[in-house]
Chains A and B, each alone.
Chain A
Amino acid sequence: MDFLLPADQMAMLLWGLRTTVLLFTVAWVGAFALAVILVTVRATEYRPCRWIVDAFVAYHRNVPLLVQVMFWYFGMPEILPEGIRFWLYDHNAEFSLAAIALALGSSAYQAEDIRSGLRAIPATQFEAARALGCNYLQTMRFIVVPQALRISLPPLVGRALLLFKNTSVAMAIGVAELTYRTREIENMTFKTFTVFGIATVLYLLGTFALMGLGAWLERRTTPGRKERRHA
Chain B
Amino acid sequence: MTAPVIVRFDQVNKWYGQNHVLQDVSLEVAKGEVVVVCGPSGSGKSTLIRTINALEPIQKGSVTLNGTAVHGKGTDLNKLRQSVGFVFQQFNLFPHMSVLDNVTFAPIRIQKRPRAEAEALARELLARVGLAEKEGSFPGFLSGGQQQRVAIARALALRPPVILFDEPTSALDPEMVGEVLQVMKSLARDGMTMICVTHEMGFAREVGDRVIFMDQGRIVVDTTPELFFDAPDHPRVRRFLSDVRGEH
> Do chains A and B make direct contact within the complex (CB under 8 angstroms)?
no
